[in-house]
Amino acid sequence: LAVMTDQKASFLPPSPQSEQSRFSEAEKMGFLLILVALSTTFGTAVPVGYTIGVVNAPAEYMRNWCNASFLERYGSTLTENGLDILWASIVSVFLIGGCAGSLGGAWIADNLGRKKSLIVCGVLFVIAALFFIFCRMANSVEMLIIGRLIIGFASGLTTTTLPMYLLELAPLALRGTLGVFCSIGVTGGVVVGQVFSLQEVFGTDELWHWALSFYVVLVVVCFVMAPWWPESPKYLYLTVNKKDEAKMVLLRLRGNDPNFVQYELEEMNQEQVDKSETRSVKSVISDPALLLPIVLVCALQGGQQLSGVNAVFYYSVSIFESAGLSSTNAKWANLGAGCLNLTTAFFTPLLMKYVNRRPISMISCAGSAVFLFILTFVVNYIDYASWLSYACIASVLMYILFYQIGLGPIPYFIGSELCEVSSRAAVMSLGSLASWSGNFIVGISFPILQSLWGAWVFLPFVIVCLALVVLLFFYLPESRGKQSAEVAPLVSRGFKSQPRVPFQ
């Protein structure tokens, strides 16, 4: 773990504990912190992933229902082109809602607080579920679209607020561990959504609306614990100036250890000396000192989507079919690939705790680029040799592995480590917007490009991954084990910054 710089140490009075003992104490995750991390992740992040993963399997049943609904309500059927446009609208309105939630996330998080922002997410998840349940009863496509828009807004707000909330609750040594909970939740939610949308569960003509809404059970159960969630101590101390409340929260989180709590309060006090007022998105964009952090956060979050992960999952069923699997078995194999993604994600808290951000990010991007290129080459020549089908499967699985060790989790929380509290919400909001925009671009363009380019459609994703390697190599500072006040000056001079440290 990195030690404080001499400059930073000079600002703080000596602590009664040694540096090593302070970090040892920080590594102890108390019951309250575990409760909050698990309940907020299962109650907000898992529904986000669930919504992403649940619509693919019952899509044909939903399209048929939309057509029948139009016939019954308006006396006419949709043409095939009209049905395609309607379905594209139903799918894409979720992403549009995600962009809107990301933009509004900074204002909501700074004005209502981190905890209340997550409660807003929970309320919106429940409202969306009610729209999904009753759209079938009301025979209303409009209710389905509105429900998708609402849950998209809640999802965008979640991906902005949850990583920031958990990092502000966590002690320094556990910030990387807590920071990946949002990523794990979304990844796990995708798998759960795939399971509940299978024909053997809710993925039928009669039950698809229950598949869309079943996540609400998890939301209700997890939000029963919301009264015990503390507000972020950094938000209380630095944003709304409630220092006594911040101290009480820290005592609850750190097991009533007054020495360690005093150390954290001194850190926040020094951060308050250096900080300005809470920043709006507009003021953050116009600040040259925040140019590089914004570029890094948006490149990582946007690049996470533009790295091709959703496209790989979209294409994996046909890859598995090319290996000789039946259509049903290929879908189960695709679910297995999702399970590998989730299993790898479960190990990322340990990686974030013990491995530096810079090298693991670059290894992840480089490995993803290599196996995407191999996948492109092999799929293009798959008919020339039978063993190439299995090479395709291996490429998909290795891509998932490399993606999930760095490019999957790190973009969710890196903004909280690069930026101080005053600008954190706005920068995280911009990063979340980049993520949802990238998801929208892939969702709209991939089917079109696939029909035009065939297997070569993966090459743009290779280029994105390689570009990320270059950007991270020159400009991403190492942030593991460091306060954001130590990291922010390293990237404050825009592209003139030189944040690299050898061997980090």
Q: What is the pLDDT of residue 47?
A: 96
The one-letter amino acid at 202:
F
What pLDDT, in 10s, does the model give residues 451-502?
788 778 889 999 999 999 999 999 999 988 888 888 888 888 888 888 875 4
d(CA 430, CA 103) in angstroms, rounded, equals 7
CA distance readout (Å), 203 to 53, 230, 328, 338: 12, 38, 14, 18
pLDDT of residue 22 exceeding 70: no
What pLDDT, in 10s, does the model give residues 61-116?
998 999 999 888 888 888 888 888 888 888 889 989 999 999 888 889 989 999 99
CA distance readout (Å), 174 to 252, 265, 364, 401, 425: 16, 17, 21, 23, 20
Closest CA to 27 of 165, 176, 166, 247: 176
Which of 5-19, 109-123, 342-356, 402-416 is least confident? 5-19
CB-based contacts of 501, cutoff 8 Å, min separation 6: 477, 478
Pick 29-229's CATH classification: 3.40.50.1970, 1.20.1250.20, 3.10.105.10, 3.90.226.10. Answer: 1.20.1250.20
To which CATH superfamily is domain 276-494 assigned? MFS general substrate transporter like domains (1.20.1250.20)
d(CA 387, CA 236) in angstroms, rounded, equals 59
d(CA 486, CA 419) in angstroms, rounded, equals 10
CA angle 217, 222, 226 (to 5 degrees): 135
3-state secondary structure of 240: coil
pLDDT of residue 322 exceeding 70: no
CA distance readout (Å), 215 to 45, 221, 417: 11, 10, 31
- For the chain, where do the domains classified as CATH 1.20.1250.20 start and end? 29-229, 276-494
pLDDT of residue 267 exceeding 70: yes
Which of 48-62, 201-215, 286-300 is least confident? 48-62
* Residue 37 · residue 181 · CB < 8 Å: yes
What is the number of residues in the chain? 504
Helix spans in 381-495 (H): 387-402, 410-418, 421-453, 459-475, 484-487
Q: What does the pLDDT average to over 363-372?
A: 95
Q: What's the whole-number average pLDDT of the chain?
A: 84
In degrees rounded to 5, what are phi and psi of residue 232? -60, 125
What pLDDT, in 10s, does the model give residues 387-431?
787 888 888 889 999 999 999 889 988 988 888 877 888 898 899
Higher pLDDT, 273 or 19: 273
Q: What is the pLDDT of residue 276?
A: 54
pLDDT of residue 23 exceeding 60: no
